[in-house]
A and B are shown apart, each in its own frame.
Chain A
């Protein structure tokens, strides 16, 4: 009778080993898949119990705070939609976006940064607090920029060219993130903002891609000056049109400028001259400089954004090159790319990597991490940057960008009026001030709104003025 008992025991051993194997599979090998299941709300609910870090602007305005409800902390956005396109939301049902998503580790206190301060609390099982974020964005300037743009689809960016710190970033239309927190309305709000044809969830400043029009002439001019193909005094004659590869290039408003130098061509945004210069440079050089300024590269924006596009040089015939020379054809740029291109001019040829979170702080306000300014790209020499600055000063002083000019401060800039297939042209302005000691770069895009000089330049003027405290 002993043999069957032994066999029976081994049978149970097999059963128990099966238990151990299945348990190991569930708890270890399949665990990450199980945690990622959409029906698994554990992680989110767990995090809702953590007092999430507060997000404040550089001028001390609270952008994201917490409201206690039962054992949960719910997010509250006191400035409602002002910063929603990039601040994002932290919703029990819809997850996260923007800074709330990218900096979730810090905000929810999961990051190793809190290891030192939070270890004891963690050991004792006390729910720790998340880290606070101090942004580079100035809430007052953000408001000025939002009001200047008003209810027009578009984007405004202000950044410090010396560091890459973003001072304001506006995208319209926006949404109120508080609507995604309150469980009684979140369903309706969510479907509304997702079905809205004007895409309020899209951050036009970094995710939007638009034909840059004449603001792209900054890059063409940079290439031409740096390679020595032109100098500011190079002599050109405009007859109102020029033919490149069978394609006829004309000037905006069918203007005819006659004899002029390159400075004038830049300031008055003469397409025919830029088409000639572009064709002289050739597709390879244009592509090289476009890449140097960041076209074709992953967006440097820490929250992710669109890659700006300059067409493949090999695929461009003369007609394409001519069109690309004034930012039409297949050239597409995000407003941030344009702002950064101008930042190169303002910062002696160097583009600093843009950033929005200045500091990560623990709840004792001790700084855990600080973003150090870093160079992203250096497309041109400081000499070329100085020359370009003078061209841009002229464009605001006597060219197309006069409505961006300020009485006390010299502003440098470039307008753009990008033709699009449907609707009016996109209005662009990109510039900086003070011209000799640049403290702020501003880029403005307004969709289907008219000329850059009449629509975008006045917005930039208000933002520059506010940024400089005038």
Chain B
């Protein structure tokens, strides 16, 4: 079977999930089954078939698993959102349309990744500008300044900035690669490049800290740092950078812990949410309760106890940061593991793309994009299941949020472009 036909076949599970999911939620909400679920199913089919045709036309040799996985994830997200809040689901559906449009636009206009390399400083500048925009114009919501108002639409520039900056850093590391791997002296037997070549590491570190200090976005800060460290390691092949990076991370983390009550609180809650389960630890405690309630097979879509009598969700930010808890409660361990495995497969395919590429820039870009995607999934899932301290970021493609959807579709388009390029003869 050709790549694209295989992609088409793999879209079928996602179609089934949408139709069945909406049908289930719908029967939960009102006793009789109407055409709504089928409408959503048809809408979904149309959308992703268009996307598929776009890929067929614009990047016919691209990886055939990434789009179906994206489709499954965004569909699951949409079904869960529909169950939580119909209005949000409708908005999310519109964001998905916009996301797919952007996806096709990127595929159409970025025919060659070298184009991005050429404009690396423009793109990097744009990324920084977006971050600055957030720091200056952003309004603070729940202790973090992430939102910028664009007319009626709230927007999180940080989400887009993360893709732009990744492009810039991949390009920058291609330039720096040579010098970074040349060791001129050894300190205690460790090959050490000239100090000035450590600059990129320090820049990343500084940027992450700045992000944390000015935007108070712990999640994005961790994300940048982790993904860029991964990129540096792949670019140089030097484990030494990872060690220095981790040391810098430790210093930064400890400093942040003592300087920012907001960070300290997060860590303290993580260490012992039971110290104050109805107040400070409430969110994570309720998330654990939801997961425990779900057990192995879950309570079924619509069967979870997600709303208080007042109509508010029992876990604050259920639609965004904590959407994974809702999935864990309603679809059980089975469903939650399914989601994690989808992210793992996406990550695997992403790195496969990276390995298959023929030039350094594509390779680093694919690695960086995949890393940032995988790390984001890990950070938020790990946060809501209390594996690591909670950082408020979205679950890629699943959480409600327009900026996140757009950014991740750009990320997907770039990965597919890298993949298609690699297979060209």
Give the B-binding residues of A (Cβ under 8 A): 1-6, 8-9, 12-13, 15-16, 18-20, 22-24, 26-28, 30-32, 34-35, 37, 39-40, 42, 45-46, 70-72, 124-125
The 25 sampled A-B contact pairs (Cβ below 8 Å) are A2-B355, A4-B234, A5-B355, A6-B355, A12-B375, A12-B378, A16-B340, A16-B378, A19-B381, A22-B386, A22-B387, A23-B385, A24-B337, A27-B291, A27-B296, A28-B295, A28-B296, A28-B333, A37-B289, A39-B277, A42-B289, A42-B293, A125-B28, A125-B300, A125-B303
A12 to B28 alpha-carbon distance, docked (Å): 38
- Given known A-B contacts A1-B237, A35-B292, A22 and B363 have beta carbons under 8 A apart: no
A1 to B238 alpha-carbon distance, docked (Å): 10
Interface residues on B, range: 35 or more
A22 to B385 alpha-carbon distance, docked (Å): 7
Collect the chain B residues with CB atoms within 8 Å of residue A6's CB: 351, 355
In the complex, which residue of chain A has the Cβ closest to the Cβ of B28?
A125
Q: Is the CB of A26 within 8 A of B278?
A: no
- Given known A-B contacts A9-B347, A12-B374, A12-B378, A20 and B234 have beta carbons under 8 A apart: no
Collect the chain A residues with CB atoms within 8 Å of residue B351's CB: 5-6, 8-9
Collect the chain B residues with CB atoms within 8 Å of residue A42's CB: 289-290, 293, 305
Q: Is the CB of A16 within 8 A of B328?
A: no
Q: Is the CB of B305 within 8 A of A23?
A: no
- Given known A-B contacts A8-B234, A8-B367, A23 and B340 have beta carbons under 8 A apart: yes
- Given known A-B contacts A2-B355, A8-B234, A34 and B305 have beta carbons under 8 A apart: no
Q: Is the CB of B385 within 8 A of A19?
A: yes
A31 to B367 alpha-carbon distance, docked (Å): 37
Give which listed residue, A3, A18, A31, contacts B292 with CB less than 8 A.
A31
Chain A nearest CB from B280 CB (Å) reads: 13
- Given known A-B contacts A16-B340, A26-B386, A125 and B237 have beta carbons under 8 A apart: no
Chain B nearest CB from A11 CB (Å) reads: 8
In the complex, which residue of chain A has the Cβ closest to the Cβ of B24?
A125
A30 to B291 alpha-carbon distance, docked (Å): 10
A459 to B340 alpha-carbon distance, docked (Å): 70
Collect the chain A residues with CB atoms within 8 Å of residue B369's CB: none
Collect the chain A residues with CB atoms within 8 Å of residue B371's CB: 8, 12
The digit string for B386-406, where 1 denotes a CB below 8 A from any CB of A, is 110000000000000000000
Q: Is the CB of B340 within 8 A of A26?
A: no
Q: Is the CB of B333 within 8 A of A3?
A: no
Query: What does DSSP make chain B's interface, helix, strand, loop or mixed?
Result: helix
Give which listed residue, A9, A19, A39, A40, contacts B387 with CB less than 8 A.
A19
Collect the chain B residues with CB atoms within 8 Å of residue A4's CB: 233-234, 237
* Further pairs besides A5-B355, A5-B367, A12-B344: 8, Cβ < 8 Å: A1-B363, A3-B237, A15-B374, A16-B343, A22-B386, A23-B333, A28-B333, A40-B292
Give which listed residue, A1, A19, A71, contacts B234 with CB less than 8 A.
A1
Give which listed residue, A23, A30, A32, contacts B337 with CB less than 8 A.
A23
Query: What does DSSP make chain A's interface, helix, strand, loop or mixed?
Result: helix
The digit string for B329-340, where 1 denotes a CB below 8 A from any CB of A, is 000110011001
Q: Is B43's beta carbon under 8 Å from chain A?
A: no
Q: Is B59's beta carbon under 8 Å from chain A?
A: no
Q: Is B106's beta carbon under 8 Å from chain A?
A: no
Q: Is the CB of A124 within 8 A of B289?
A: no
Give which listed residue, B234, B278, B340, B374, contacts A5 with CB less than 8 A.
B234
In the complex, which residue of chain A has the Cβ closest to the Cβ of B278?
A39
In the complex, which residue of chain B has the Cβ closest to the Cβ of A22?
B387
A399 to B354 alpha-carbon distance, docked (Å): 103
CB proximity to A under 8 Å, residues B289-345:
289-296, 300, 302-303, 305, 309, 328, 332-333, 336-337, 340, 343-344
A-B contact count (CB 8 A): 120
A174 to B333 alpha-carbon distance, docked (Å): 47
A8, A27, A124: residue with the most chain B Cβ atoms closer than 10 Å: A27
Q: Is the CB of A1 within 8 A of B337?
A: no
Collect the chain B residues with CB atoms within 8 Å of residue A30's CB: 292
Q: Is B240's beta carbon under 8 Å from chain A?
A: no
The digit string for B19-52, where 1 denotes a CB below 8 A from any CB of A, is 0000000011000000000000000000000000
Q: Is the CB of A24 within 8 A of B333?
A: yes
Chain A nearest CB from B32 CB (Å) reads: 11
A142 to B26 alpha-carbon distance, docked (Å): 49
Collect the chain B residues with CB atoms within 8 Å of residue A124's CB: 27
A20 to B336 alpha-carbon distance, docked (Å): 9
Chain A nearest CB from B30 CB (Å) reads: 12
Q: Is the CB of A70 within 8 A of B309?
A: yes
In the complex, which residue of chain A has the Cβ closest to the Cβ of B307?
A71
Collect the chain A residues with CB atoms within 8 Å of residue B274's CB: 37
Collect the chain B residues with CB atoms within 8 Å of residue A22's CB: 382, 385-387
Q: Is B212's beta carbon under 8 Å from chain A?
A: no
- Given known A-B contacts A26-B288, A27-B292, A34-B288, A12 and B333 have beta carbons under 8 A apart: no
Chain B nearest CB from A427 CB (Å) reads: 49
A207 to B344 alpha-carbon distance, docked (Å): 59
Collect the chain A residues with CB atoms within 8 Å of residue B381's CB: 19, 23
Q: Is the CB of B289 within 8 A of A23?
A: no
Chain B nearest CB from A40 CB (Å) reads: 5
Give which listed residue, A19, A34, A45, contacts B378 with CB less than 8 A.
A19
In the complex, which residue of chain B has the Cβ closest to the Cβ of A8?
B230
Give which listed residue, A8, A15, A26, contacts B385 with CB less than 8 A.
A26
Chain B nearest CB from A206 CB (Å) reads: 35
Chain B nearest CB from A470 CB (Å) reads: 52
Q: Is B348's beta carbon under 8 Å from chain A?
A: yes
A34 to B281 alpha-carbon distance, docked (Å): 14
Chain A nearest CB from B384 CB (Å) reads: 10
Collect the chain B residues with CB atoms within 8 Å of residue A24's CB: 333, 337
Q: Is the CB of B348 within 8 A of A34?
A: no
